[in-house]
């Protein structure tokens, strides 16, 4: 059986490029499994289904090694699990050297494949670390410039004390208090609790 696995990290990212690559590699797939989840670990619903399907002699195709995962140790372990424990083959479209079908009886080929795998896995994890570092540096620089992160805080209406007092004394219900203050329930209660604290 021939299987393919595609993955993107976020729900708003597209799988299209990977699916086109599968179509262009001239392999008839029994099924293509897809996940829209981070590659930090292998807790992915469709990946787990794929692993349960894989049998000795099957072929798993991925577009690039970082689609399998981005954690160096996890990628190495998973590669060995698939190729050694299950006995299935793996073909990485973007790196033809990572094609275990070609190295079945070729010791040098297997050796080269293992070295390339370890190198690419290291690069994939290192890039993930670098991305996080750059993001952290960017956020720090933005905060220094005064950029605010997160949702903007809802301004407290001028007549909030009057509304809060009526709500506290049960002259009006919550729905009416929200309508009068034009606030969402979370914002209303944040200010209401502050109002109560100040008036104890």
Whether the pLDDT of residue 58 is over 90: the answer is yes
Catalytic residue among 9, 113, 186, 187, which? 9
Whether the pLDDT of residue 177 is over 80: the answer is yes
Q: Looking at residue 3, what is its pLDDT? A: 94
72-123 pLDDT, tens digit each? 777 888 888 888 899 898 999 988 878 888 755 555 556 666 777 777 667 6
Q: Of 35, 87, 100, which Cα lies nearest the Cα of 61?
A: 100
Q: How far is 74 from 41, CA to CA, in rounded Å? A: 7
187 or 148: which leads in pLDDT = 187
Mark 79-91 as b/e (b = at least 16 C-beta within 10 Å). Answer: beebbeebebbbb
19 or 137: which leads in pLDDT = 19
Q: Which residue has the tokens 């590669």?
A: 79
User: In sequence order, what DSSP letters do the residues of 39-105 get, joined into one string?
Assistant: SSSS--HHHHHHHHH--TT-EEEESSHHHH-S-HHHHHHHHHIIIIII--EEEETT-TT-BGGGGTT
Give 59's pLDDT tier (boundaries 50, 70, 90): very high
Average pLDDT over the chain reads: 81
Q: Looking at residue 111, what is its pLDDT? A: 63
CB-based contact 4:29 (threshold 8 Å): yes
Lowest mean pLDDT among 50-54, 103-107, 155-159, 182-186: 103-107
6-57 pLDDT, tens digit each? 988 877 788 888 899 999 988 998 999 998 877 566 678 899 999 999 999 9
Q: Looking at residue 50, what is its pLDDT? A: 93
Does residue 9 carry a catalytic annotation? yes
35 or 197: which leads in pLDDT = 35
């Amino acid at each position: 059986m021939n299987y393919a696995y595609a993955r993107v990290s976020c729900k708003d990212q597209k799988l299209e490029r990977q699916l086109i690559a599968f179509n262009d590699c001239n392999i008839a797939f029994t099924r293509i499994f897809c996940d829209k989840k981070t590659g930090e670990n292998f807790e992915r619903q469709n990946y787990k289904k794929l692993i349960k399907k894989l049998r000795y002699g099957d072929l798993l195709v991925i577009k690039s090694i970082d689609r399998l995962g981005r954690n160096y140790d996890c990628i190495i372990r998973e590669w060995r699990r698939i190729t050694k424990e299950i006995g299935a083959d793996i073909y990485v479209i973007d790196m033809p050297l990572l094609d275990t079908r070609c190295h079945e009886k070729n010791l040098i080929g297997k050796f080269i494949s293992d070295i390339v795998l370890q190198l690419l896995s290291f690069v994939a994890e290192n890039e993930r670390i670098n991305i996080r570092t750059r993001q952290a540096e960017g956020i720090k620089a933005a905060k220094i410039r005064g950029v605010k992160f997160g949702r903007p805080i809802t301004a407290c209406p001028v007549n909030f004390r009057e509304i809060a007092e009526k709500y506290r004394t049960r002259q009006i219900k919550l729905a009416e208090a929200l309508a009068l203050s034009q606030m969402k329930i979370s914002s209303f209660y944040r200010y209401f609790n502050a109002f109560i604290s100040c008036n104890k």
